[in-house]
Amino acid sequence: MSVVRKACSMFPQVVGFSKRNMSFKTLDPPTPLAAHGIHVFYCPDAVGIVAKLSDCIASRGGNILTADVFVPENKKVFYSRSDFVFDPAQWPREQMEEDFLKISQTFNAIRSVVRVPALDPKYKIAVLASKQDHCLVDLLHGWQDGRLPVDITCVISNHHRASNTHVIRFLERHGIPYHCLSTTKEDKREGEILELVQNTDFLVLARYMQVLSRNFLRSYGNDIINIHHGLLPSFKGGHPSKQAFEVGVKLIGATSHFVTEELDEGPIIEQMVERVSHRDNLQSFVQKSENLEKQCLRSAIRSYCELRVLPYEEKKTVVF
């Protein structure tokens, strides 16, 4: 019957769709003026949100390249992320801001953010590290080769050691302030840290081996991304590689997550694993883990800067 026939109208095209698509070749290029915008939206679910958003972009001559909409089952919330191209002359940045603001008011958005990477300032971050500097070093490389689209306002370490010197030299060469604030049980020097990270958009804990107090989290107020060298929720707290080694797991992992007041319980952004066997000793566990930590943290920061990460329920994330 008709429905199935229609469904079938889908099929013949693949066999020999070469011809049809040849035409793609002859299309005119996109307008050179086009700039790239990203918009994320998170609000109580309602009818017609997608229509309103796409209308808005279309009405300004913008064109959606990708859109990703997510409405969790049985939850009345709505998530979307869109990439679009537009002509800044036709749609000025401030106007864009206003347009989306109107929509976010219409739908009581919990969150509505738009970014135009080519026009907006990069996110400003501070990196906190401790003895192990492999993640810090990897972030600096990512920053240097442009893969990590952030400005590093400063690096704070609570642990000085000789092996850090090449990092410190690197920071000097690139004019990134480096602060060594040795912490003690009594004095975590959170006041000083707070001072130093005042103007950052978010913090990155690159294997920072200090638990930040609830007061710190609240005074700072912005997001904090941590890398945990274990596959949460296993192996919370200290020495996860050692814990994993002693349990005799066959897979080790790393987890990047947001920092909340409960230790290692913040929403998970990314997780990665690698096989281990009886041949691995604690040292090779650590080496494999460090390799995972670097990739996992870098991926989380990149997703975050591309507005792919949104909070979901108490402890989860949507990662578009």
Q: Is 261 in the site for a second copy (CB under 8 A)?
A: yes
| Residue owning tokens 């638990």 | 211
Give yes or no for residue 175 binding a second copy (CB under 8 A): no
Mode of pairing for the β-strands spanning 202-206 and 123-129: parallel
Q: Does 86 bind a second copy (CB under 8 A)?
A: no
Instruction: State the binding string over 191-210 for a second copy (x if CB under 8 A, else -).
Output: ----------xx--------
CB of 184 to a second copy, least distance (A): 25
- Measured distance CA(273)–CA(206) in Å, rounded: 18
Nearer to a second copy, 108 or 184 (CB): 108
| Number of Cβ atoms within 10 Å of the Cβ of 319 | 17
> Quick one: which of 33, 68, 105, 194 contacts a second copy (CB under 8 A)?
68
54 binds a second copy (CB under 8 A): yes
Judged by CB, which is closer to a second copy: 15, or 185?
Answer: 15
Backbone φ and ψ for 38, nearest 5 degrees, come out as -125, 135
Asked whether position 71 contacts a second copy by CB under 8 A, the answer is yes
Written in H, E and C, the secondary structure of the chain is CHHHHHHHCCCCCCCCHHHHHHHHHHCCCCCCCCEEEEEEEEEECCCCHHHHHHHHHHHCCCEEEEEEEECCCCCCEEEEEEEEEECCCCCCHHHHHHHHHHHHHHCCCCEEEEECCCCCCCEEEEEEECCCCHHHHHHHHHHHCCCCCEEEEEEEECCCCHHHHHHHHHHHHCCCCEEECCCCCCCCCHHHHHHHCCCCCEEEEECCCCCCCHHHHHHHCCEEEEEECCCCCCCCCCCHHHHHHHHCCCEEEEEEEECCCCCCCCCEEEEEEEECCCCCCHHHHHHHHHHHHHHHHHHHHHHHHCCCEEEECCCEEEEC
Is residue 263 a contact point for a second copy (CB under 8 A)?
no
Stretch that binds a second copy, among 41-49, 150-158, 175-183, 184-192 (CB under 8 A): 41-49
- Is residue 69 near a second copy by the rule CB under 8 A? yes
User: Nearer to a second copy by C-beta: 70 or 178?
Assistant: 70
Closer residue to a second copy (CB): 155 or 223:
223
Respond yes or no: is residue 264 known to be catalytic. Answer: yes
Q: Minimal CA–CA distance to 229: which of 145, 157, 158, 130?
A: 130
* Nearer to a second copy (CB atom), residue 48 or residue 237: 48
Rounded to whole angstroms, the Cα distance separating 320 from 309 reads 7
How is residue 212 written in tokens?
A: 């930040």
Binding a second copy (rule: CB under 8 A), the pick from 128, 148, 227, 249 is 249
- Check binding of 222 to a second copy (CB under 8 A): yes
Residue 8 binds to a second copy (criterion: CB under 8 A):
yes
Q: How far is the CB of 189 from a second copy (least distance, A)?
A: 20
Name which position in 31, 55, 211, 215 contacts a second copy (CB under 8 A).
55
Does residue 266 interact with a second copy by CB under 8 A? yes
Enumerate residues 104-123 that contact a second copy by CB under 8 A: 110-115, 120-121, 123
318 touching a second copy, by CB under 8 A: yes
Site pattern 17..36 for a second copy (x: CB under 8 A):
xx-xxx-x--xxxx------
Give the nearer residue to a second copy in terms of CB position, either 156 or 235: 235
Q: Which of 64, 168, 176, 209 binds a second copy (CB under 8 A)?
A: 64
159 lies in the binding site for a second copy (CB under 8 A)? no
Query: Which residues are identified as catalytic?
Result: 264
